[in-house]
Chains A and B, each alone.
Chain A
Amino acid sequence: MAREKIYLEESFPSPFIQLWGIFRKTPVAMLGFCCFIFLVVLAIFAPIIAPYSPVDGNLDMILLPPAWHDNGNVSYLLGTDELGRDMLSRLMYGTSLTFGLSFIVVVFSLVIGVIIGSLSALTKGIKSSFLNHFLDVVLSIPSLLLAIIIVAILGPGISNTVWAIAIVFIPQFIHITRYAVKEEFRKDYVLASRLDGASNFRILYYSVFPNIVERLMSQATLAQSAAILDIATLGFLGLGAQIPLPEWGAILANGLEHFYVAPWTVYLPGLAILFAVVATNLVGEGIRHALKLRKES
């Protein structure tokens, strides 16, 4: 084939760049991505942006409704709870607990899961069969039940919840990495680099990983939406974040007593959780959509 541009260097975008090119042309996915970035920024800078402290209450301003309500006060935009703590500040600090921690949990279990998964993909026979059966057993136990057991061993508290959820997610990543790596190893390009004399590790690092990274990311977004829900659920059940911490699930559980008098202490944290999970799922959906388009093109 004749080259069209003789003087310019031809560039072949890497699979990842191709994916980004398709991803940014989907408006819904980009919207989700912007919300996701917004949440990340909020999680990092919450202590600087938040107008009030999340734990100190103002006893003159107890159970103030949100500002758009008739009895609302503009300086407390989303109202206050039963101790006069500003809901907006609590929700902002909650972002770094619920959303930020779920992000860290997913990255942590992703790294560990990918390492174990790709090593196990290179094994065969009885070891592989044993691992597969073992993963089947662990995956058949509901994630929340497993997290509850681990919390029962370690005792309630936010750091123990984080450990529990990280341990629960590792098998999922092992499973998906193992499956993806095995599938790639059957393809011809791996055979080609093997004929060149590349070692297993080199093939894994230079040939296989660039081709499965998007699949792992799509799994990571699924895991993160599950992690947000799990952290919030454990907080709601009183097993996760303990009393003064402004974790979204814990705020919601805290507001339950004043459900009829002050419904905003229940529906606002719920909306925050919903927003974070929808943003994460939109990003994941965008990645999967882009993957499908790239495969077809």
Chain B
Amino acid sequence: MLKFTFRRLSLFVFTMLVLTLLSFSLSFLFPGDTVINHSGQINATPTELVQLNKAYQMDKGLFTQYVAYVSHILSGDFGQSMASQSPIRDEIIELLPATIELSLVALLVAMLIGIPLGFIAAINHNKVSDNAILSMAMLGYSIPVFWLGLLAILVFSIGLGWLPSAGQISLLFEIELVTGIQFIDILLSDSPYKWQAFSDASAHIILPACVVALAPATIFIRLSRAAMIEVLATSYIRAARAKGLSFKQIIFRHAIRNALIQIIRHVGLQFANLVTLAMVTEVIFSWPGIGRWLIESIAQRDYTAIQSGLLVLSCFIFIIHILTDFIYAALNPLARGNKYGS
């Protein structure tokens, strides 16, 4: 396990290196002056420009420039947003938790719906219910997410009027920003309307979370179906059956546990996909998250914001990726072996 941890950590360092290198080189690729792209100060006076050039070591070689850039990032200075001229760090601290909240809730929904359906399909392998679930999964996988979001708003918000269509919480509730994650903040606050606020926030998250969750859920259906079919064909299941265990005991005690391990491995990979969907959904549901902010930044040619947004989002995805790798390795000793460079 120690060796495995070491391997993962080295991968993490390498990834961060490549990602910072990518965002560093973006400043050169974007139109405009490099140092202004780094810092976002478009209205800098000549004296300020001289200071900036010194801070980012622009007169030295590329390597020194890169080191200066990384040390700025490490000290938490992402520069200013070109559009609003406020520090990007503050904006990200405000927006990222909303995206984390949405994507984690969506991941939970996708797993809760997808995995049991996949298991049911695998148990009834090659029967009508298996085929029905598979064709539903394919349809769900093919629906464009922005269209699904619009249809959901049309049906559930406008047609039936059950759920709100935009935002994270009704403006009536004043919640103090502590962690940024709405649900935790509500529970921490001492407002007398705590529970109304809580139910209002849950009503707001249902629609976007379900829209984001649909495509990942269909992938979980496939993954869990394949894993379950594989497990049911193994000899330990046959041994359990020969021992005289009932069908229920076999499924719940042996099959599900072993199939779940296989699925956990893929959660990290699916997460990148899920965050992409979340970015588009944020635009449609006016969710105050980092995805919407990024897409707006492109319209405003806010290069500093795009650069830092890429860095922060990919970092977040990679951390989740590594976390699931750790959970998988902790549960399955077979996975700690040699993987690369052989």
Judging by beta carbons under 8 Å apart, are A144 and B341 in contact? no
Residues of chain B contacted by A236 (CB below 8 angstroms): 144, 146, 280
Least Cβ–Cβ distance between B226 and chain A, in angstroms = 11
Residues of chain A contacted by B189 (CB below 8 angstroms): none
Judging by beta carbons under 8 Å apart, are A145 and B313 in contact? yes
Which DSSP category, helix, strand, loop or mixed, fits chain A's interface? helix
Interface residue from B15, B26, B294 paired with A140 (Cβ < 8 Å): B15
Q: Is A84 an interface residue, CB under 8 A from the partner?
A: no
Q: Who on chain A is nearest to B272 by CB? A: A142
Least Cβ–Cβ distance between B106 and chain A, in angstroms = 14
Q: Is A62 an interface residue, CB under 8 A from the partner?
A: no
Judging by beta carbons under 8 Å apart, are A149 and B145 in contact? no
Stretch at the interface among A66-74, A128-136, A200-208: A128-136
Q: Is A153 an interface residue, CB under 8 A from the partner?
A: yes
Least Cβ–Cβ distance between A224 and chain B, in angstroms = 12
Instruction: A19 to B280: give the CA distance in the assembly, Å.
Output: 38
> A237-B283, A270-B144, A274-B142 known; A137 and B18 CB under 8 Å?
yes
What per-residue 1/0 map shows which CB atoms of B300-342 lie under 8 Å from chain A?
A: 0001001000100110011001000000000000000000110
Judging by beta carbons under 8 Å apart, are A149 and B272 in contact? no
Q: Is A238 an interface residue, CB under 8 A from the partner?
A: yes
Instruction: A237 to B313: give the CA distance in the assembly, Å.
Output: 19
> A144-B280, A281-B138, A285-B138 known; A274 and B143 CB under 8 Å?
yes
Residues of chain B contacted by A140 (CB below 8 angstroms): 15, 272, 314, 317-318, 321
Residues of chain A contacted by B142 (CB below 8 angstroms): 225, 274, 277-278, 281
Instruction: A278 to B139: give the CA distance in the assembly, Å.
Output: 7
Judging by beta carbons under 8 Å apart, are A141 and B272 in contact? yes
Q: Is B299 an interface residue, CB under 8 A from the partner?
A: yes
What per-residue 1/0 map shows which CB atoms of B256-288 lie under 8 Å from chain A?
A: 000000000000000011011001100100000
Least Cβ–Cβ distance between A71 and chain B, in angstroms = 21
Q: How many residues of A contact B (CB 8 A)?
A: 45
Q: Who on chain B is nearest to A263 by CB? A: B154
Instruction: A18 to B299: give the CA distance in the assembly, Å.
Output: 51
In B12-27, which residues have CB < 8 Å from any A CB?
14-15, 18-19, 26
Judging by beta carbons under 8 Å apart, are B280 and A141 in contact? no
Instruction: A245 to B61: give the CA distance in the assembly, Å.
Output: 45
What per-residue 1/0 map shows which CB atoms of B131-170 lie under 8 Å from chain A?
A: 0000000110111111100110010000000000000000
Least Cβ–Cβ distance between A270 and chain B, in angstroms = 4
Judging by beta carbons under 8 Å apart, are A233 and B340 in contact? no
> A153-B30, A229-B144, A281-B138 known; A238 and B306 CB under 8 Å?
no
In A265-281, which residues have CB < 8 Å from any B CB?
266-267, 270, 273-274, 277-278, 281
Residues of chain B contacted by A136 (CB below 8 angstroms): 11, 15
Judging by beta carbons under 8 Å apart, are B11 and A259 in contact? no
Q: Is A125 an interface residue, CB under 8 A from the partner?
A: yes
Least Cβ–Cβ distance between B267 and chain A, in angstroms = 13
> A140-B321, A149-B310, A233-B144 known; A134 and B18 CB under 8 Å?
yes
Q: Is B104 an interface residue, CB under 8 A from the partner?
A: no
> A137-B19, A141-B317, A285-B138 known; A274 and B298 CB under 8 Å?
no
Q: Who on chain B is nearest to A260 by CB? A: B158
Instruction: A282 to B142: give the CA distance in the assembly, Å.
Output: 10
Interface residue from A149, A151, A237, A278 paired with B280 (Cβ < 8 Å): A237
Least Cβ–Cβ distance between A147 and chain B, in angstroms = 9
Residues of chain A contacted by B30 (CB below 8 angstroms): 152-153
Judging by beta carbons under 8 Å apart, are A142 and B275 in contact? yes
What per-residue 1/0 map shows which CB atoms of A143-160 lie under 8 Å from chain B?
A: 111001101110010000
Judging by beta carbons under 8 Å apart, are B298 and A278 in contact? no
Residues of chain A contacted by B187 (CB below 8 angstroms): none
Q: Is A252 an interface residue, CB under 8 A from the partner?
A: yes
Residues of chain B contacted by A273 (CB below 8 angstroms): 144, 147
Interface residue from B141, B143, B298, B341 paired with A129 (Cβ < 8 Å): B341
Instruction: A131 to B159: give the CA distance in the assembly, Å.
Output: 52
Q: Is B105 an interface residue, CB under 8 A from the partner?
A: no
Residues of chain B contacted by A285 (CB below 8 angstroms): 138
Judging by beta carbons under 8 Å apart, are A142 and B144 in contact? no
> A125-B341, A126-B341, A133-B11 known; A148 and B295 CB under 8 Å?
yes
> A140-B314, A270-B144 known; A129 and B340 CB under 8 Å?
yes
17 additional A-B residue pairs with CB within 8 Å, beyond A142-B279, A142-B313, A149-B310: A128-B340, A136-B15, A140-B15, A140-B321, A142-B272, A142-B273, A142-B275, A145-B279, A145-B313, A145-B314, A148-B295, A229-B145, A239-B298, A249-B144, A266-B150, A274-B142, A274-B147
Could you give 26 example pairs across A and B, Cβ below 8 Å? A128-B341, A133-B11, A137-B14, A137-B18, A137-B318, A140-B272, A141-B314, A142-B272, A142-B275, A145-B294, A148-B298, A148-B306, A149-B310, A151-B298, A152-B30, A229-B145, A232-B146, A233-B146, A237-B283, A249-B144, A270-B150, A270-B151, A273-B144, A273-B147, A281-B138, A281-B142
Seen from chain A, the residues whose Cβ lies within 8 Å of a Cβ on chain B are 125-126, 128-129, 132-134, 136-137, 139-145, 148-149, 151-153, 156, 225, 229, 232-233, 236-239, 249, 252, 256, 259, 263, 266-267, 270, 273-274, 277-278, 281-282, 285
